[in-house]
Structure 1
Amino acid sequence: MANQAVQVEHLERGMGLWGALAANLLNMVGVGPFLTIPLAIAAMGGPQAMLGWMLGAVLALCDGMVWAELGSQMPDSGGSYHYLLQAFNPHGAGRLISFLFLWQSLLIGPISIASGAVGFAEYSGVFHSFTHLQLKLVAMALCLLNLGVLYRSIHSIGTLSVIVMVAVVGTCGWIIVSGATHFHPSLAFDFPPAAFHPSHAFWLGLGSAVLIAIYDYGGYNNVCLIGGEIKDPRRNIPRAVLLSIVVVGVLYMAMNIAVLGVLPWRSAQHSTAIVADFMYAIHGSWAARAVSILILIASWGSAYAILLGYSRIPYAAAADGRFPKIFARVHPRGHFPTTSLIYMGIGSAVMCVFSLSDLISALIVIQTLLQSIAQCIAVLLLRRRSGAATDVFRMPFYPLPAIIALVGWVYIVATSQIKHIAAGIALAVTGIAFYLIQANREREWPFRQA
């Protein structure tokens, strides 16, 4: 930690709206929805799991408005690091709160990337029966491959993102059309007795389903993490955030209904490759293999996009003098952060030793505790200061979307497992301790001398 920003070379604004939208969509449409549909069905015990997907979409849209407003107001790489620092006073508590975001990102970034890689490895089991160790090695290899792919200029990355995005959206379209032409309402709406009875089990199950849904919707903020590399950012960042949520929300709801209208939910909740089973039931083995290949491409693209976004966070903090300056290094020709990218790539490979379910739960709960809740408050504080500025995006129906998002995040945490809540609290406590030690050494807030 240092008192003054280090001298670094700026990143290049080389990605337009389509590249930004693709970076979000690739992050959002990974292997998640193709693996987690059975988890959501099991959590609620029937097709009423669609309620979890609907509430997840509402939460994502409301939280997306928070990101869109903050991203438009402060269009720099690093996202929440800048938002929290400015909202909570850059000369006071904002230093601690923004540091906690950075602190959790050093863990959450690798976890998020690893979840996509582990999902890729598990879905690859459709083609070959891997041992547990082999699956982990496949996931680790994917993380290192993406590190190599991203070690280049943002221009070529934007082009590649658009190409993979087309393949991803095409896959979702094939699934939806196949389901629509073979849809059976009696299967899709085969609700068990008391499916919507508001019992304790119902609320816990709904919380789990929303957690799963928000993981699959997650990624709409990716463009904010690379804000310093987006052209015309005050317009393109909000557009990319909100358009990606709408597109993915429609795709996910349609895919879920399509699958539930073809496969009986009582067997579907136990499937390990539900979309392959779905396509096999409609078109046969060739379709199951083909869609599995496309899903693997989508999951690779997701892990790749997540690594792209998170690799900019340590860079942003180091460029601001809040993190070791080695993380502020920029490639002399490609103009991308090198050390930060390498750290996230190798860190994600290490995190692949954990299971997908643990990675998902830990990711959402820790991120909510140390970032999402604080950010909903941050947008309220910043709006109060900025007043009626007209040159940036302003969320409609303010402050309702921010309040809905805040309530949703609190509900998810309240219905989560104690071990993941404890992990988030432990991470916060260690981060606070580390910050205070460093702040005392550097005579920064709250130890700054008058």
Structure 2
Amino acid sequence: MSGSPPPSGGFTRRIGLFQATAINMSQMCGIGPFVTIPLMVAAFGGPQASIGFVAGAILALADGLIWAELGASLPGSGGSYVYLRQAFQYRTGRLMPFLFVWTAMLFVPLIMSTGVVGFVQYLGYLAPDLGGTTGDLIGLGVIALVILLLWRGIEHIAKITTVMWIVMITAVVLVIVAAVTHFDPDLAFTFPKGAFDLTEGSFWMGFAAGLTIGIYDYLGYNTTAYMGAEIKDPGRTLPRSIVYSIGGIMVIYLLLQIGSLGVIDWHRMLDSTDIASSSVASAVLQETWGKGAAQVVTVLILITAFASVFTGLLGGSRIPYDAARDRVFFRAYGKLHAKHKFPTFGLATMGVVAAAGFLIGRHTDLVTLIQLLTTVMILVQAFSQIAAVTVLRKRQPTLPRPYKMWLYPLPSVVALVGWLVIYGYADKNSPGRHPIEWSLGWLALGCVAFFLWSRFEKVWPFGPREINEEYLAGATAGTGAADGRAPEPDPR
């Protein structure tokens, strides 16, 4: 691609559009929809909960177009890490990419911990007498097993993840077919009084909560952006893979949501003693095809939950490794296992955080865990990338942009409004949990860590600012000063 530097780290561009779209969809459709349908119904107070999945798709699409422009013009390995490094290097050095890695060390394993919470919930269908302490121990054991498998350096991981993907798709298709063949429109489309009263504040609180759950379910539409150095013709493939995956998953989610509501009375999803509130897919299968079929599909869902944690920690542990190797994070995270060649410190850290997140989700609720991970992610990744598109258009106007955001800057505005709604309502939708305060505290702690790290490494603000416009056509690393002056030296 014109203006694109050669892939780094020995990567080759071998992933085409079909593979890229499948990769995104496999990350998007994990355990999420199986555990969040009752949460969405609770947020809206009725079967109008489908609004949440549509709203989540709109936000995902608007934000996805931001990822599309950045990924097409900066097709390197690392995703947000690359975009923030390129956009904000002129004034704040390595602060923004450092803070991204810092927050990713929290929100990535928290996302994985929701999969373990879902695992234990569905296990409760097969073992109704499963106690709280036993469930905690099983969940921690699942995380330990994932870390052990990854620690031993499994070969042929691609084949393993392919099998897990087939299992996941099988589970989704079976639930949809069971729901569609036994669909009752009176159950799905009988709404409570005032369900669509936009003048009520309760509607907008429910909308904000549903939007949070919805965007959580769509997370993963940007997976191929982190693999930019391995994508064929990234200027065309990356934007299309993002848009296609969001559209495809929206159809799947709406079929699951509406289909489940057409089989299970939505009031059952609000009853904590009913299996429909914790294992709605199992309830759908039991209601339609009987308990035996429900048990089989529940086993498939357990495998899906395990797969989502396995693949998530596999990829997430590489984020601090790449940054450390590029001298943008603590050096300890840049070391590989001597024999199996995986990032030991990153994997261990994320495993510990995932375990802590699982216990938080178990002893509060899944909504609190989702609110916490989204608020942390929004601060550095979502808000910063919205700004990065505009900053790069001004700072690097000659940067090759095979894809430019449609209707710019409208998608940026829509994404900003959506993220602000989620962030602004976070405390109200998690009363007493203070996700906003926790996210701000984590960010502040990250700033302190950056200044300690930068002082040790002697980089900005304790050393020269390094400008690297590597993606500009004809530019070479270390050239292109921010203010027209001669470039500052790169001590590396």
The 5 A counterparts of 1:46-65 are 46-65=46-65
Q: Which one of the candidate residues 281, 287, 296 is aligned to 1:281?
A: 287
Q: Secondary structure at the match of 2:292?
A: helix
CA contact (8 A) 2:69 2:401 kept: no
Equivalence for 1:403: 413
Change (3 A) 1:389 1:84: closer
Per the TM alignment, residue 231 of structure 1 is displaced from its structure 2 partner at its CA by: 5.5
Deviations 1:149-168 (A, max 9, x none): 44588983333333322222
Q: Is the 8 A contact 1:276 1:291 kept in 2?
A: yes
Offset of residue 412 of structure 1? 0.7
289, 292, 297: which one pairs with 2:298? 292
Which residue identity is paired with 1:76? G
The answer as to 2:193 corresponding to 1:193 is yes
Aligned to 2:210: 209
Q: What TM-score, normalized by structure 2, do the two folds share?
A: 0.82
Residues 112, 363 of structure 1: 8 Å contact kept:
yes
2:310 — aligned with what? 304
Supply the distance in 1 between the matched residues of 2:195 and 2:28 (Cα, whole angstroms): 29
2:439 pairs with 424, 427, 439, which one? 424
Among all aligned residue pairs of Structure 1 and Structure 2, give the percentage whose two residues are the same amino acid: 37
Task: Give the structure, 1 or 2, with the largest relative contact order (CA under 8 Å, sep 6 or more).
Answer: 1
Secondary structure, counterpart of 2:423 in structure 1: helix
Determine the C-alpha separation between the residues in 2 that align with 1:350 and 1:71: 32
Deviates further, 216-225 or 202-211: 216-225
Aligned match of 1:111? 110
| Rg comparison, structure with higher value | 2
Measure, in 2, the Cα distance between the counterparts of 1:220 and 1:406: 17
Matching residue of 1:318: 324
CA–CA distance in structure 2, aligned partners of residues 325 and 12 of structure 1: 23
How has the CA–CA distance of structure 1 residues 435 and 134 changed in structure 2, closer, same or farther, with 3 Å as cutoff?
Answer: same
Query: Residues 244 and 330 (structure 1 numbering): CA distance in 2 closer, same or farther, change over 3 Å?
Result: farther
Distance 2:237 2:147 in 1: 26
Give the superposition deviation at 1:284.
1.0
Look up the SS of the partner of 2:360 in the other structure. Answer: coil
Separation in 1, partners of 2:455, 2:256: 53
Q: C-alpha displacement at 1:318, in angstroms?
A: 0.3
CA shift in 2, pair 1:442/1:339, >3 Å: closer
Q: Are the aligned partners of 2:120 and 2:135 in contact in 1 as well (CA < 8 Å)?
A: yes
Q: How does 1:48-447 map to 2 (within 5 A)?
A: 48-88=48-88, 90-128=89-127, 129-150=129-150, 156-198=156-198, 199-230=200-231, 233-270=234-271, 271-330=277-336, 336-355=342-361, 356-387=366-397, 392-417=402-427, 419-447=434-462
Shift in Å, 1:243: 2.6
Unpaired runs of 5+ residues, structure 1, are: 1-8
- Segment of structure 1 superposing worse, 115-124 or 254-263: 115-124
1:331 Cα deviation from its structure 2 partner? 5.7
Change (3 A) 1:104 1:332: same
Which has the larger displacement, 221-230 or 163-172? 221-230
Q: Give the structure 1 partner of residue 9 of structure 2.
A: 10
Q: How far apart, in 2, do the equivalents of 1:237 and 1:337 lie?
A: 27
Aligned partners of 1:412 and 1:134: how far apart in 2?
Answer: 34
Query: 1:11 deviation in Å?
Result: 5.6
1:93-131 Cα offsets, whole Å, 9 max, x none, are 252222211111122222122121221122111111322
Residue aligning to 1:40: 40
Q: CA RMSD in A?
A: 2.7
Cα deviation digits, residues 398-427 of structure 1 (max 9, x gap): 222222111100111111116000101111
State how far apart, in whole Å, the 2-side matches of 1:196 and 1:388 are: 48
Cα deviation for residue 244 of structure 1 reads 2.2
Give how far 1:82 is off: 1.5
Which moved further from structure 2: 175-184 or 227-236?
227-236
Once residues 76 and 337 of structure 1 are traced to their aligned partners in structure 2, the CA distance between those partners, rounded to angstroms, is 20
Rate the CA distance shift 1:65–1:43 in 2: closer, same or farther, 3 A.
Answer: same
- Secondary structure at the aligned position of 2:420 is classed as helix
